[in-house]
Amino acid sequence: MTERLQISVGSVALRGGDSFFLIAGPCVIESDEHVLQMARAIKEIAGRVGVPLIFKASFDKANRTSIHSYRGPGLEKGLEALRRVKEETGLPILTDIHEPWQAAPVAKVCDVLQIPAFLSRQTDLLVAAGRTGAVVNIKKGQFVSPQEVSHAIEKVRSTGNERIVLTERGSSFGYNNLVVDMRSLPTLRKLGYPVVLDVTHSVQLPGGAGNASGGQPEFIEPLARAGVGAGLDGLFMEVHDNPAAALSDGSNALPLGQLEPLLTRLIAIDRVVRPWL
Protein backbone atom coordinates (compact mmCIF):
# COMPACT_ATOMS: atom_id res chain seq x y z
CA MET A 1 0.00 0.00 0.00
CA THR A 2 1.79 3.16 -1.19
CA GLU A 3 -1.05 5.44 -2.33
CA ARG A 4 -1.48 8.17 0.27
CA LEU A 5 -5.12 8.18 1.30
CA GLN A 6 -6.97 11.37 2.18
CA ILE A 7 -8.91 10.82 5.42
CA SER A 8 -10.95 13.32 7.42
CA VAL A 9 -12.66 13.27 10.80
CA GLY A 10 -15.37 15.89 10.70
CA SER A 11 -13.63 19.08 9.62
CA VAL A 12 -10.18 17.75 10.57
CA ALA A 13 -8.10 16.63 7.58
CA LEU A 14 -5.76 13.87 8.70
CA ARG A 15 -3.53 14.48 5.70
CA GLY A 16 -3.01 17.38 3.34
CA GLY A 17 -4.03 20.16 5.72
CA ASP A 18 -2.27 23.47 6.23
CA SER A 19 -0.62 22.15 9.40
CA PHE A 20 -0.30 19.01 11.45
CA PHE A 21 -3.39 18.03 13.41
CA LEU A 22 -3.41 17.51 17.16
CA ILE A 23 -4.84 14.67 19.24
CA ALA A 24 -4.86 15.91 22.84
CA GLY A 25 -6.58 15.49 26.17
CA PRO A 26 -6.12 13.85 29.56
CA CYS A 27 -5.10 10.21 29.80
CA VAL A 28 -8.34 9.14 31.44
CA ILE A 29 -11.73 10.62 32.29
CA GLU A 30 -11.32 11.73 35.91
CA SER A 31 -14.78 13.29 36.22
CA ASP A 32 -17.48 14.66 33.93
CA GLU A 33 -16.54 18.19 34.91
CA HIS A 34 -12.80 17.77 34.47
CA VAL A 35 -12.95 16.16 31.04
CA LEU A 36 -15.27 18.89 29.75
CA GLN A 37 -13.09 21.60 31.28
CA MET A 38 -10.01 20.13 29.57
CA ALA A 39 -11.78 19.85 26.22
CA ARG A 40 -12.87 23.48 26.33
CA ALA A 41 -9.42 24.72 27.35
CA ILE A 42 -7.55 22.71 24.70
CA LYS A 43 -10.07 23.71 22.02
CA GLU A 44 -9.51 27.37 22.84
CA ILE A 45 -5.74 26.99 22.60
CA ALA A 46 -5.87 24.99 19.35
CA GLY A 47 -8.21 27.59 17.87
CA ARG A 48 -5.88 30.46 18.74
CA VAL A 49 -2.86 28.84 17.10
CA GLY A 50 -4.78 27.37 14.17
CA VAL A 51 -4.19 23.66 14.74
CA PRO A 52 -7.03 21.20 13.97
CA LEU A 53 -7.96 19.26 17.11
CA ILE A 54 -9.26 15.80 17.96
CA PHE A 55 -9.99 15.48 21.68
CA LYS A 56 -8.95 12.29 23.46
CA ALA A 57 -9.72 10.69 26.82
CA SER A 58 -10.12 7.09 27.96
CA PHE A 59 -13.10 5.54 29.72
CA ASP A 60 -10.98 2.60 30.91
CA LYS A 61 -7.22 2.15 31.19
CA ALA A 62 -7.16 -1.63 31.18
CA ASN A 63 -3.36 -1.82 30.88
CA ARG A 64 -2.43 -0.08 34.14
CA THR A 65 0.64 -1.48 35.89
CA SER A 66 -1.06 -2.13 39.23
CA ILE A 67 -4.43 -3.67 40.09
CA HIS A 68 -4.83 -0.78 42.55
CA SER A 69 -4.44 2.00 39.95
CA TYR A 70 -7.40 4.11 38.83
CA ARG A 71 -8.78 2.85 35.52
CA GLY A 72 -11.61 5.25 34.72
CA PRO A 73 -15.40 5.47 34.99
CA GLY A 74 -16.09 2.49 32.74
CA LEU A 75 -17.86 2.19 29.41
CA GLU A 76 -21.36 3.47 30.16
CA LYS A 77 -20.44 6.50 32.27
CA GLY A 78 -17.37 7.20 30.17
CA LEU A 79 -19.29 7.30 26.90
CA GLU A 80 -21.88 9.58 28.43
CA ALA A 81 -19.11 11.98 29.47
CA LEU A 82 -17.56 11.87 25.99
CA ARG A 83 -20.96 12.37 24.37
CA ARG A 84 -21.42 15.52 26.44
CA VAL A 85 -17.97 16.78 25.42
CA LYS A 86 -18.79 16.20 21.77
CA GLU A 87 -22.16 17.93 21.99
CA GLU A 88 -20.91 20.95 23.92
CA THR A 89 -17.63 21.53 22.07
CA GLY A 90 -18.30 20.12 18.60
CA LEU A 91 -14.92 18.39 18.69
CA PRO A 92 -14.29 14.97 17.14
CA ILE A 93 -13.52 12.41 19.85
CA LEU A 94 -10.93 9.63 20.13
CA THR A 95 -10.91 6.91 22.76
CA ASP A 96 -9.30 3.50 23.06
CA ILE A 97 -10.96 0.11 23.18
CA HIS A 98 -9.56 -3.03 24.75
CA GLU A 99 -12.06 -5.75 23.84
CA PRO A 100 -13.90 -6.48 20.57
CA TRP A 101 -17.37 -6.08 22.07
CA GLN A 102 -16.59 -2.46 22.98
CA ALA A 103 -16.10 -1.37 19.36
CA ALA A 104 -19.74 -1.00 18.28
CA PRO A 105 -21.06 1.01 21.25
CA VAL A 106 -17.97 3.22 21.33
CA ALA A 107 -18.28 3.99 17.61
CA LYS A 108 -21.79 5.36 18.21
CA VAL A 109 -20.23 8.19 20.22
CA CYS A 110 -16.59 8.50 19.18
CA ASP A 111 -15.13 9.34 15.79
CA VAL A 112 -11.82 7.52 16.20
CA LEU A 113 -11.29 4.11 17.83
CA GLN A 114 -7.78 3.69 19.15
CA ILE A 115 -6.04 0.32 19.36
CA PRO A 116 -3.63 0.38 22.33
CA ALA A 117 -0.01 -0.41 21.54
CA PHE A 118 0.00 -3.49 23.76
CA LEU A 119 -2.97 -4.85 21.77
CA SER A 120 -1.87 -3.89 18.26
CA ARG A 121 -1.58 -7.51 17.13
CA GLN A 122 -4.98 -8.62 18.47
CA THR A 123 -6.82 -9.71 15.33
CA ASP A 124 -10.32 -9.79 16.81
CA LEU A 125 -9.93 -6.28 18.23
CA LEU A 126 -8.63 -4.82 14.97
CA VAL A 127 -11.37 -6.49 12.93
CA ALA A 128 -14.11 -5.35 15.32
CA ALA A 129 -12.84 -1.77 15.15
CA GLY A 130 -12.65 -1.91 11.37
CA ARG A 131 -16.19 -3.19 11.03
CA THR A 132 -17.61 -0.07 12.69
CA GLY A 133 -16.50 2.11 9.78
CA ALA A 134 -14.95 4.59 12.21
CA VAL A 135 -11.40 5.83 11.82
CA VAL A 136 -9.05 3.33 13.49
CA ASN A 137 -5.86 4.66 15.10
CA ILE A 138 -3.37 1.81 15.41
CA LYS A 139 -0.68 2.54 17.97
CA LYS A 140 2.49 0.70 16.99
CA GLY A 141 3.41 -1.82 19.65
CA GLN A 142 6.57 -1.13 21.62
CA PHE A 143 7.74 -4.55 20.46
CA VAL A 144 6.90 -4.11 16.75
CA SER A 145 9.00 -2.72 13.90
CA PRO A 146 7.39 -0.07 11.70
CA GLN A 147 7.42 -2.49 8.78
CA GLU A 148 5.40 -5.05 10.76
CA VAL A 149 2.56 -2.57 11.22
CA SER A 150 1.46 -3.61 7.73
CA HIS A 151 -0.03 -6.78 9.25
CA ALA A 152 -2.25 -4.77 11.62
CA ILE A 153 -3.30 -2.60 8.69
CA GLU A 154 -4.35 -5.65 6.69
CA LYS A 155 -6.51 -6.87 9.56
CA VAL A 156 -8.47 -3.62 9.56
CA ARG A 157 -8.58 -3.45 5.75
CA SER A 158 -10.04 -6.97 5.63
CA THR A 159 -13.31 -5.38 6.80
CA GLY A 160 -13.35 -2.94 3.89
CA ASN A 161 -12.36 -0.03 6.14
CA GLU A 162 -9.48 2.07 4.80
CA ARG A 163 -9.88 4.83 7.39
CA ILE A 164 -6.67 4.08 9.28
CA VAL A 165 -4.15 6.19 11.19
CA LEU A 166 -0.76 4.94 12.41
CA THR A 167 0.82 6.20 15.63
CA GLU A 168 4.45 5.82 16.70
CA ARG A 169 4.84 5.78 20.49
CA GLY A 170 8.35 4.50 21.06
CA SER A 171 10.04 1.10 21.22
CA SER A 172 11.16 -0.89 24.24
CA PHE A 173 14.80 -0.27 25.07
CA GLY A 174 15.90 -2.69 27.76
CA TYR A 175 13.77 -2.56 30.89
CA ASN A 176 11.59 0.40 31.93
CA ASN A 177 12.60 2.57 28.99
CA LEU A 178 11.46 3.58 25.52
CA VAL A 179 13.23 5.23 22.59
CA VAL A 180 11.83 6.76 19.41
CA ASP A 181 13.59 5.87 16.18
CA MET A 182 12.74 8.78 13.87
CA ARG A 183 13.31 6.50 10.88
CA SER A 184 9.97 4.99 11.85
CA LEU A 185 8.03 8.06 10.66
CA PRO A 186 9.02 7.95 6.96
CA THR A 187 8.80 4.16 7.06
CA LEU A 188 5.23 4.30 8.35
CA ARG A 189 4.34 7.02 5.84
CA LYS A 190 5.31 4.67 3.02
CA LEU A 191 2.45 2.40 4.11
CA GLY A 192 0.07 5.04 2.76
CA TYR A 193 -1.79 6.23 5.85
CA PRO A 194 -1.61 9.34 8.05
CA VAL A 195 1.19 9.10 10.62
CA VAL A 196 1.10 10.49 14.16
CA LEU A 197 3.84 10.76 16.79
CA ASP A 198 2.77 10.29 20.40
CA VAL A 199 5.22 12.55 22.21
CA THR A 200 3.99 11.90 25.74
CA HIS A 201 3.82 8.11 25.94
CA SER A 202 7.17 8.08 24.15
CA VAL A 203 8.78 9.67 27.23
CA GLN A 204 7.18 7.13 29.56
CA LEU A 205 9.31 4.86 31.74
CA PRO A 206 7.07 1.75 31.79
CA GLY A 207 6.88 0.34 35.30
CA GLY A 208 9.68 2.70 36.24
CA ALA A 209 7.94 3.93 39.38
CA GLY A 210 7.46 0.46 40.85
CA ASN A 211 3.68 0.12 40.92
CA ALA A 212 3.18 2.65 38.11
CA SER A 213 4.96 4.05 35.07
CA GLY A 214 7.33 6.96 35.43
CA GLY A 215 8.18 9.54 32.82
CA GLN A 216 10.57 12.20 31.56
CA PRO A 217 8.34 15.09 30.46
CA GLU A 218 11.35 17.33 29.87
CA PHE A 219 11.86 15.40 26.63
CA ILE A 220 8.35 16.03 25.24
CA GLU A 221 9.37 19.15 23.35
CA PRO A 222 12.63 17.80 21.88
CA LEU A 223 10.77 14.76 20.56
CA ALA A 224 7.95 16.89 19.20
CA ARG A 225 10.38 19.21 17.41
CA ALA A 226 12.26 16.26 15.94
CA GLY A 227 9.05 14.56 14.84
CA VAL A 228 7.65 17.64 13.12
CA GLY A 229 11.03 18.16 11.46
CA ALA A 230 11.09 14.56 10.25
CA GLY A 231 7.64 14.98 8.72
CA LEU A 232 4.35 13.79 10.17
CA ASP A 233 0.64 14.33 9.80
CA GLY A 234 -0.34 14.62 13.45
CA LEU A 235 0.88 14.89 17.02
CA PHE A 236 -0.59 13.05 20.01
CA MET A 237 -0.17 14.59 23.46
CA GLU A 238 -1.69 13.80 26.80
CA VAL A 239 -2.33 17.15 28.46
CA HIS A 240 -3.38 17.85 32.04
CA ASP A 241 -4.00 21.03 34.00
CA ASN A 242 -2.22 19.57 37.04
CA PRO A 243 -0.05 16.56 36.10
CA ALA A 244 1.08 16.04 39.70
CA ALA A 245 -2.54 15.30 40.66
CA ALA A 246 -3.48 13.33 37.53
CA LEU A 247 -5.05 9.92 38.18
CA SER A 248 -3.12 8.28 35.32
CA ASP A 249 0.12 9.04 33.44
CA GLY A 250 0.71 12.38 35.12
CA SER A 251 4.45 11.74 35.09
CA ASN A 252 4.58 11.98 31.31
CA ALA A 253 1.76 14.48 30.66
CA LEU A 254 2.27 17.95 29.23
CA PRO A 255 1.07 20.70 31.59
CA LEU A 256 -1.83 22.60 30.03
CA GLY A 257 -0.02 25.90 30.53
CA GLN A 258 2.81 24.74 28.26
CA LEU A 259 0.60 23.65 25.36
CA GLU A 260 0.15 26.96 23.53
CA PRO A 261 3.80 28.05 23.51
CA LEU A 262 4.87 24.56 22.45
CA LEU A 263 2.38 24.46 19.58
CA THR A 264 3.51 27.91 18.45
CA ARG A 265 7.12 26.73 18.20
CA LEU A 266 6.12 23.51 16.45
CA ILE A 267 4.02 25.37 13.88
CA ALA A 268 7.10 27.40 12.92
CA ILE A 269 8.99 24.17 12.18
CA ASP A 270 6.02 22.66 10.37
CA ARG A 271 5.75 25.61 7.99
CA VAL A 272 9.31 25.00 6.83
CA VAL A 273 8.89 21.24 6.40
CA ARG A 274 5.31 20.85 5.10
CA PRO A 275 5.93 21.84 1.45
CA TRP A 276 8.19 18.79 1.08
CA LEU A 277 5.86 16.23 2.66
Question: 55-100 pLDDT, tens per residue?
Answer: 999 999 998 888 989 999 999 999 999 999 999 999 999 999 999 9
- Please report, for the domain that includes residue 41, its CATH number: 3.20.20.70
φ, ψ of residue 21 to 5 degrees: the values are -100, 165
Predicted pLDDT of residue 5: 76
What is the average pLDDT score of the chain? 95
Looking at the chain, the whole-number percentage of residues with pLDDT higher than 90 is 88
Is the residue at 21 inside a domain?
A: yes
Is the residue at 249 inside a domain?
A: yes
Work out the pLDDT band at 204, boundaries 50, 70, 90.
very high
Predicted pLDDT of residue 111: 98
Provide long-range contacts, Cβ within 8 A and 24+ apart, for 175-182: 175/207, 176/205, 176/206, 176/207, 176/208, 176/214, 177/205, 177/206, 177/208, 178/142, 178/202, 178/203, 178/204, 178/205, 178/206, 180/223, 180/226, 180/227, 182/226, 182/227, 182/230
Structurally, the chain folds into a number of domains equal to 1
Q: What is the 3-state secondary structure (H, E, C) of 162-203?
A: CCEEEEECCEECCCCCEECCCCHHHHHHCCCCCEEEECCHHH
**In contact, 165 and 193? CB cutoff 8 Å:** yes
**In contact, 125 and 147? CB cutoff 8 Å:** no
The whole-model pTM stands at 0.96
Is the residue at 2 inside a domain?
A: no
Work out the pLDDT band at 2, boundaries 50, 70, 90.
low
The whole domain housing 130 covers 8-172+181-276
Is the residue at 146 inside a domain?
A: yes
CA 149/CA 141 separation, integer angstroms: 9
Is the residue at 3 inside a domain?
A: no
Is the residue at 93 inside a domain?
A: yes
Question: 227-251 pLDDT, tens per residue?
Answer: 999 999 999 999 999 999 999 999 9
